[in-house]
Amino acid sequence: MIEAKNVNFYYGDFHALKNINMKMERNTVTAFIGPSGCGKSTFLRLFNRMNDLIEGTRLTGECLIDGQNIYDKSVSVVELRKQVGMVFQKPNPFPKSIFENVAYGLRVNGMKNKKEIEEIVERSLRQAALWDEVKDKLKKSAFDLSGGQQQRLCIARALAVSPTVLLMDEPASALDPISTSKIEDLIYALKKEYTIVIVTHNMQQASRVSDNTGFFMLGELVEFSETKKMFLNPDKEQTQNYITGRFG
Amino acid sequence: MEQSKENEFSLQLKASGYRLRTRMTQQVAFWTIRLLGFVVVGILVWIQGFIIVNGAGVLSWDFLTQAPTEGMTSGGIFPAIVGTLCLVVGSMVFAFPLGVMAGIYMNEYTKDHWTVRLIRVVTNNLSGIPSIVFGLFGMALFVNTLGFGDSIIAGSLTLGLLVLPIVIRTTEEALKAVPDSYRSGSVALGASKLQTIFRVILPSAFPNIITGLILAIGRVSGETAPILFTAVAYFLPKLPTSIFDQVMALPYHLYVIATSGTDIEASRPIAYGTALVLIIIVLAMNLLASFIRKRVSRKQR
Amino acid sequence: MNTDKQLKFRNTARRGAKWLERGVEGLFTASGWVSIVIVLLITIFLFKEGFGLFQSPTVEKGYVLCVHPSNPVERLNASQIKHIFDYETTSWSEVGGADLEIRPFRFEEIFDYYAEEEFGPDYEFLPDKLAEVVAGDEGILAFLPEQYLPADRSGIKIVEAGNITVTDFFGGREWLPTSTPAPQFGALPLILGTLWVSFFAILIALPLGMGVAIYMSELAGERMRKVLKPAIELLAGIPSVVYGFFGLVVIVPLVQRAFDLPVGETAFAGCLILAIMALPTIITVAEDAMRNTPLAMREASLSLGATQWQTIYRVVIPYASSGISAAIVLGIGRAVGETMAVLMVTGNAAVMPTSLFEPIRTIPATIAAELGEAPAGGAHYQSLFLLGCILFLITLVISVSAELISKKQRQAV
């Protein structure tokens, strides 16, 4: 279970997230929507502490996973990031072979057994629905794959280290419609085993894949509720405007 | 989900086992790297400090303005300073306009044409040619074939060729930094290409081009190998009067009194002083260049 | 009428401006090609002078080698001649003749055989006396000026020495350009010396340079970078003669004491100085390449639970590998071409390199040390130009390969 309590976040003087409270259940898909620059990606990146990499940022409040504050001093960032996987907006495979891309996370986490690695790589690629397409060219460079395949490879790479939570930052925004629908099917299938949080600018996508949706605007969480309710009967007028504005 | 199951699945976020080991490795690696950084800075401080500490005592007005005496074991380095100055001025008179024009040609006339790519590759190669090879070439062409003999002009031309790539490259970079809107704006007002270059582009790129000139001066004043056989003399009793005269030069002077003077021990202080003067020139040129660069970038902001 | 005149006036002004414009543009174009012209000129001059060496006779110009007419030996090469006159080769059987002791004879020795007045007032009897000496000794190998050869050549036999060959130059192990009668132009020790010193210099500079490059691109904060960057530029700006001086007064004694050597001017001292001089090149190029690693790659690695160090050596360094190779190559280029510093600290003994703790001599140092004494147009002069050609070609290969390597990196992105 993921929880944000009174989260405020600053880039220098800029107040990027304002007093956000949210709870996400296990094995659900939560979507964040909102206009660009509204803070949804920033919020997502709090949960594997990716924002730590940016200088001059500040956080107040608590981010909890299974009741543990992930910003606590005793928490190992590296361990956290292993448990909370992330898929980025643009496919970002390493300049290595397909196999090595998926095996990377295993290797940096100290796995040496060749057989075990091979098994996990295959399993992850199958989970990401990519196995059949690449099983004959695992030694080829990941850059030889199409954009959609690369993104699924990145998902497989994230799955290989068996995270509990999967964060997805607009995973389909750089892809064509067919690849996008493949990714969406994948998200639906992965829900059984993972807690998924996805940022998207595409509201149809949010409505298709998610159980709950949060609507962000200007750093505030305007509304957070069940996806169906959000799209059919939102509580706030701003939400209504945004959803209809986009569609209409 | 039930409470008990929740706990069972609870994440282990504390570092342990392998994790601690990788953290240790990282610590060791980072400290090694920091140490290497300190070593390099230490080397720089060591060299500079050594020359400054030993040379500072020698440096005086007399040292800078008097000729060497008693077989270069005492006196000053005035003729060497004058000689280096002649070579710097001579080489810049030759290389600066030529390099700037080449830069203009490459950036304003034939951008991204294959000729420009070829010229760029060749210019890169030119800057990779060792200075002693320039010395050989200068000797063959200027000293022997053209018959200048060992002279300021032969040395200046050789040094000019050596720094030409620096001038070309900085000019090109400077011109690239000028926004294209300046060009189209000027042309739209009916100015010809040449007018645009002289009235709009060059003035706004000029400070950056000047940094190239300054860096080239820094380089020229310290080079020894190219002038070894084209310009310098071991010792000259009088200052040069024409561009066909030989000169003394600071770097060569340092080489001579450090390795083959009449009395190496006695001339050591002079060597320190000469080295210090050379370092001061380089330091001053670097500071000047970065000062100009900073001012320009502030202005453009 | 009035307007017509005005129009004409305007037109000519335009035409004048146009001519000026054309002229200036022509000037720009000409300058644009100047680098190419220079490189061509350098190539032409270097190779013209350098390859002249292979037209030079093995023995000094104006001299010949003579033997007794009964001697079956027809040819001798440069190194054979040198060894005979050094009394290292003592029997004709070693150079393809009879089992007879060789008696090397230099022209000046004639004055030991005869009294001054026997040559006549204008030395008109000198050729005859020389012929007498040669004819009188079956084992003789005489080194004589052509102008004093006797008109009647029946009593002597001239040995062919031919011209200096490519193998003499590239395969010769001795560099003795002023030895008589046959100067030795074996460039092998110089070529190997250059590569030897450069190689070990890079070996020393690489860990240091990579460390600093990693530090600057991955660990240092903005403020630290602002201090380091100009410091390294400064390191690059210090004239090589100052490095040489520093090496001479600090490093050389240090090396001598530290390793308890008879002299401190060794290949190792050269390596240390060259390593310091190659550092800025390596640091700047490698750091640039590493900073070019996209943030997305780093984020991907970190998000999989890699530590920062794992990210550096598993993602950043492989990603920047071609840039790093370019850095190494350019560093070698810097070391190979360096003249003054090496000249001042390596001791300059033209011997085949065997140990780091012995004096050594590089190509640039040889040129710098000897060009001043080599008479223009002579074999020695030409041989130095040929060395220049080698240096030129080495750096050309280095520049081109650095270019190709970094192009590969650009394509990979």
All domains of chain A, ordered by start, with CATH? 2-247 (3.40.50.300)
For position C64, what pLDDT does the model report?
86
Mapping DSSP to helix (H, G, I), strand (E, B) and coil, where does residue C389 land?
A: helix
Q: Pick from A55, A96, A161: which is nearest to C304 by CB?
A: A161
Q: Pick from A65, A67, A74: which is nearest to B14 by CB?
A: A74
- Is there a domain that residue B36 lies in? no
Does the pLDDT of residue C364 top 90, yes or no?
Answer: yes
Which tokens hold the place of B83?
């000689």
- Is there a domain that residue B176 lies in? yes
Helices H / strands E in chain C, number of each: 18, 6
- Is there a domain that residue B70 lies in? yes
Distance CA(C287)–CA(A206), nearest Å, equals 42
Distance CA(B3)–CA(A243), nearest Å, equals 37
Instruction: Find the radius of gyration of the CA atoms of chain C.
Output: 31
DSSP C154: G
Distance CA(B273)–CA(B221), nearest Å, equals 15
Q: Which helix (H) or strand (E) holds C91?
A: none
For position B300, what pLDDT does the model report?
60
Q: Note whether C63-162 and C188-412 share their fold.
A: no
- Is there a domain that residue B15 lies in? no
Q: Pick from C297, C298, C303: which is nearest to A85 by CB?
A: C303
Mapping DSSP to helix (H, G, I), strand (E, B) and coil, where does residue C191 land?
A: helix
Distance CA(A17)–CA(A20), nearest Å, equals 7
Q: How far lies A126's CA from each of A158, A189, B240, in Å? A: 13, 12, 83
Q: Shortest Cα distance from C411 to chain A (angstroms)? A: 12
Chain A residues with beta carbon closer than 8 angstroms to that of B9: 26, 66, 164
Instruction: Find the radius of gyration of the CA atoms of chain A.
Output: 18
Does the pLDDT of residue C131 top 80, yes or no?
Answer: yes
For position B15, what pLDDT does the model report?
66
Distance CA(C294)–CA(C305), nearest Å, equals 18
For position B9, what pLDDT does the model report?
46
- Sign of the torsion angle spanned by Cα atoms C91, C97, C100, C104: negative
Give B144-201 pLDDT, tens digit per residue: 999 998 999 999 999 999 999 999 999 999 999 888 888 888 888 888 888 888 888 9
Report the candidate in B267, B67, B274 with the shortest Cα–Cα distance to residue C239: B274
- Sign of the torsion angle spanned by Cα atoms B160, B164, B166, B170: positive
CATH code, B203? 1.10.3720.10
- Is there a domain that residue B148 lies in? yes
- Per the DSSP assignment, residues forming a β-bridge with C160 are C75
Give start and end residues of each alpha helix (H) in C70-176: 78-85, 110-113, 126-135, 166-171
Q: How far lies C102's CA from each of B192, C92, C93, C94, in Å? A: 83, 6, 9, 10
Chains that touch C (3 or more CB pairs under 8 A): A, B
Which tokens hold the place of A224?
């957070």
For position B27, what pLDDT does the model report?
92
Distance CA(A213)–CA(A197), nearest Å, equals 10
CB contact under 8 A, B15 and A83: no
Q: In this structure, which amino acid lies at residue C6?
A: Q
Q: Maximum Cα–Cα distance for chain A, whole Å?
A: 56
- Sign of the torsion angle spanned by Cα atoms C42, C48, C54, C60: negative
- Is there a domain that residue B88 lies in? yes
CATH number of C188-412: 1.10.3720.10
What proportion of chain B, given as a percentage, has pLDDT over 70?
Answer: 93
Look at phi and psi of residue A118 and say left if phi exceeds 0, alpha if psi is from -120 to 50, else beta. Answer: alpha
Q: How far lies A115's CA from each of A82, C22, C353, in Å? A: 21, 73, 50
Lowest model confidence (mean pLDDT) among A124-128, B36-40, B296-300, C262-266: B296-300
Does the pLDDT of residue C6 top 60, yes or no?
Answer: no
Residues C212 and C228: beta-carbon distance below 8 Å: yes
Q: How far lies A79's CA from each of A49, A136, A162, B15, in Å? A: 11, 33, 12, 6
Residue B45: alpha-carbon gap to chain centroid: 19
For position C171, what pLDDT does the model report?
87
Which tokens hold the place of C191?
């070529």
- Is B35 at the interface with chain C, CB within 8 A? yes
Residue B67: give the domain boundaries. Answer: 61-300
Q: How many domains does chain B have?
A: 1
CB contact under 8 A, B11 and A109: no
Q: Is the peptide bond before C181 cis (omega within 30 degrees of 0)?
A: yes
Does the pLDDT of residue C383 top 90, yes or no?
Answer: yes
Give A136-150 pLDDT, tens digit per residue: 999 999 999 998 899
Report the candidate in C206, C208, C173 with the shortest Cα–Cα distance to residue C82: C173
- Is B130 at the interface with chain C, CB within 8 A? yes
CB contact under 8 A, C299 and A48: no
Question: Which residue in the block uniquely carries the two structure tokens 């296990």?
Answer: A26
CB contact under 8 A, A76 and B9: no
Q: Pick from C45, C339, C395: which is nearest to B129 by CB?
A: C395
For position C1, what pLDDT does the model report?
47
- Is there a domain that residue B285 lies in? yes
Residue A108: alpha-carbon gap to chain centroid: 21
- Name every residue whose Cβ is closer than 8 Å to that of residue C250 and which is 6 or more positions away in sequence: B50
Chain B residues with beta carbon closer than 8 angstroms to that of A68: 10-11, 13
For position C12, what pLDDT does the model report?
54
For position B250, what pLDDT does the model report?
93
Residues C298 and B10: beta-carbon distance below 8 Å: no
- Sign of the torsion angle spanned by Cα atoms A91, A97, A102, A103: negative
Go through chain C and tell me how many residues it has. Answer: 413
Rounded mean pLDDT, C219-226: 87
What would the 3-class secondary structure string for C207-266 be? HHHHHHHHHHHHHCCHHHHHHHHHHHHHHHHCCHHHHHHHHHHHHHHHHHHHCCCCCCCC
Lowest model confidence (mean pLDDT) among B275-279, C61-65, C262-266: C61-65
- Is there a domain that residue B22 lies in? no
Q: In this structure, which amino acid lies at residue A144?
A: D
Give start and end residues of each alpha helix (H) in C115-187: 126-135, 166-171
Q: Which residue of C has its CA nearest to A154?
A: C300
Report the candidate in C41, C44, C39, C75 with the shortest Cα–Cα distance to residue C57: C75
Report the candidate in C237, C220, C225 with the shortest Cα–Cα distance to residue C279: C237
Rounded mean pLDDT, B287-292: 87
Which tokens hold the place of B178?
């000028």
CATH number of C63-162: 3.40.190.10
pTM: 0.86
- Is C259 at the interface with chain B, CB within 8 A? no
Does the pLDDT of residue B3 top 50, yes or no?
Answer: no
Q: Where are the domains of chain C?
A: 2-55, 63-162, 188-412
Tens of pLDDT along chain A (248 residues)? 889 999 999 998 899 999 999 999 888 999 999 888 888 899 999 998 988 888 888 899 999 988 888 898 888 888 889 889 999 988 999 988 999 999 999 999 888 899 999 999 999 999 888 999 999 999 999 999 998 899 999 999 999 998 999 999 988 888 888 888 888 988 988 888 899 999 988 888 888 899 999 999 888 899 999 998 888 888 888 888 888 765 43
CB contact under 8 A, A86 and C303: yes
Lowest model confidence (mean pLDDT) among A210-214, C22-26, C158-162: C158-162
Per-residue pLDDT band for B260 (boundaries 50, 70, 90) equals confident
ipTM above 0.85, yes or no: yes
